[in-house]
Amino acid sequence: MDSSHDPHPATQDGAHDHHDVSKHVKGYLLVGALLLVFTGLTVFLSYVNFGSSKANIIVAMIVATIKASMVAAIFMHLNSEKWTIYRFLLLTVFFVIGLFVLSLLAFHDPIRY
Amino acid sequence: MPGFRKRSIRRWNPPQHSFSNMEIPYTISARPDTGLWNAKLGIWLFLASEVMLFGGLFSGYVFLRLGSAPGYWPHGLLNVPVGSMNTAILILSSVTVVMAWASLKMRQFTRYQIYMAITIICGIIFLAVKLAYEWPQKFVHFGAYIKPAVAEKYEDYLGNKHLIEKGLEPRYEITGHLHEIEINRADADPAELDTLIKARGLEVVKTEDEGKVLTLKVHSPSDAVALRDVLGVISNPDEPNPAKRTRKAHGVKIEAFELALDEINANPTSPENERPRFIPRSLSEKTATIHMEDIDGDGQAWSSFEPRHSSYFAVYFTITGLHGLHVLAGVLVFCYYMLPVSTRLYRQNPEHLANRVEVAGLFWHFVDLVWIFVFPIFYLL
B53 pLDDT above the threshold of 90? yes
Query: Which residue, among A103, A107, A108, would best test binding to B if mutated, counting the most B CBs under 10 Å from its CB?
Result: A103
Short-list B377, B374, B372, B376, CA closest to B88 = B372
Contacts with B, A 48-67, CB within 8 Å:
49, 53, 56-57, 60-61, 63-64, 67
Contact assignment for B362 to A42 by CB distance below 8 Å: no
Q: Could you tell me the residue ranges of all domains in chain B?
A: 59-140+314-380, 142-304
B15 pLDDT above the threshold of 60? no
> Which DSSP letter does residue B218 get?
-
Q: How many contacts, defined by CB atoms under 8 Å, are there between A and B?
A: 157
pLDDT of residue B247: 81
Quote the CA–CA distance of B146 and A37 in Å, as a whole number: 41
pLDDT of residue B277: 83
Chain B residue numbers touching A71 (CB-CB < 8 A)? 94, 365, 368-369, 372
Name the percent of chain B lying above pLDDT 90: 74
pLDDT of residue B23: 74
Quote the CA–CA distance of A64 and A50 in Å, as a whole number: 17
pLDDT of residue B91: 97
Short-list B54, B6, B56, B53, CA closest to B31 = B6
ipTM: 0.85
pLDDT of residue B19: 54
- What is the per-residue pLDDT across B83-136, written as a single tens digit (0 to 9) for each? 999 999 999 999 999 999 999 999 999 999 999 999 999 999 999 999 999 999
Of the candidate ranges A9-13, B150-154, B240-244, the one whose mean pLDDT is the lowest? A9-13
pLDDT of residue B231: 87
- Tell me whether residue B369 is exposed, middle or buried, using C-beta atoms within 10 angstroms of its C-beta: 0 to 12, 13 to 18, 19 or more: buried
Pick the residue from chain A with its C-alpha nearest to B102. A21
pLDDT of residue A17: 54
Contact assignment for B48 to A47 by CB distance below 8 Å: no
Q: Could you tell me the residue ranges of all domains in chain A?
A: 16-79, 81-113
Short-list B142, B165, B97, B162, CA closest to B289 = B142
- What is the per-residue pLDDT across B285-338, written as a single tens digit (0 to 9) for each? 999 999 999 999 999 999 999 999 999 999 999 999 999 999 999 999 999 999
- What is the per-residue pLDDT across B155-193, written as a single tens digit (0 to 9) for each? 999 999 999 998 888 999 999 999 999 999 888 888 889
pLDDT of residue B244: 81
Q: How many residues does chain A have?
A: 113
Arithmetic mean of pLDDT over chain B: 91
Q: Which band of pLDDT confidence, cut at 50, 70 and 90, is reported for residue B246?
A: confident
Quote the CA–CA distance of B108 and B96 in Å, as a whole number: 14
Short-list B27, B45, B48, B49, CA closest to B36 = B27
A105 pLDDT above the threshold of 90? no
Quote the CA–CA distance of A66 and B72 in Å, as a whole number: 30
Report, at the CATH architecture level, how domain B59-140+314-380 is classified: Up-down Bundle (1.20)
B339 pLDDT above the threshold of 70? yes
| C-alpha to C-alpha distances, A88 to A12, A94, A99, B51, nearest whole angstrom | 21, 10, 17, 12
Query: Which residue, among A2, A22, A35, A86, would best test binding to B if mutated, counting the most B CBs under 10 Å from its CB?
Result: A35
B79 pLDDT above the threshold of 90? yes
Query: What type of residue is B137?
Result: Q
Tell me what the mean pLDDT of segment B54-64 comes to. 95
Nearest-Cα distance to chain A for B92, in Å, is: 7
Distance of CA A102 to the CA centre of its chain: 23
Q: What angle do CA B53, B98, A30 make, to 5 degrees?
A: 105
pLDDT of residue A103: 85
pLDDT of residue B350: 95
Q: Which band of pLDDT confidence, cut at 50, 70 and 90, is reported for residue B20?
A: low
- What is the SS3 assignment for B81? helix
Contact present, B159 and B174 (Cβ < 8 Å): no
Does the beta carbon of A99 lie under 8 angstroms from any beta carbon of chain B?
yes
- What is the SS3 assignment for B224? helix
- pTM > 0.90: no
Quote the CA–CA distance of B73 and B172 in Å, as a whole number: 10
Backbone dihedral angles phi then psi of residue B350, each to the nearest 5 degrees: -60, -30
- Tell me whether residue A49 is exposed, middle or buried, using C-beta atoms within 10 angstroms of its C-beta: 0 to 12, 13 to 18, 19 or more: exposed
Contact assignment for B59 to A100 by CB distance below 8 Å: yes
Short-list A4, A11, A16, A5, CA closest to A80 = A16
Nearest-Cα distance to chain A for B116, in Å, is: 15
Arithmetic mean of pLDDT over chain A: 83
Residue with the larger pLDDT of the pair B5 and B77: B77
Radius of gyration of chain B (CA): 29
Region for B312 from its dihedrals, namely left if φ exceeds 0, alpha if ψ lies in -120 to 50, beta otherwise: alpha
Tell me what the mean pLDDT of segment B6-34 comes to. 66
Query: What type of residue is A61?
Result: M
- What is the per-residue pLDDT across A21-73, written as a single tens digit (0 to 9) for each? 888 899 999 999 999 999 999 999 999 888 888 899 999 999 999 999 999 99
- What is the per-residue pLDDT across B267-280, written as a single tens digit (0 to 9) for each? 999 888 887 888 88
Residue B117 burial (CB count, 10 A) = 15
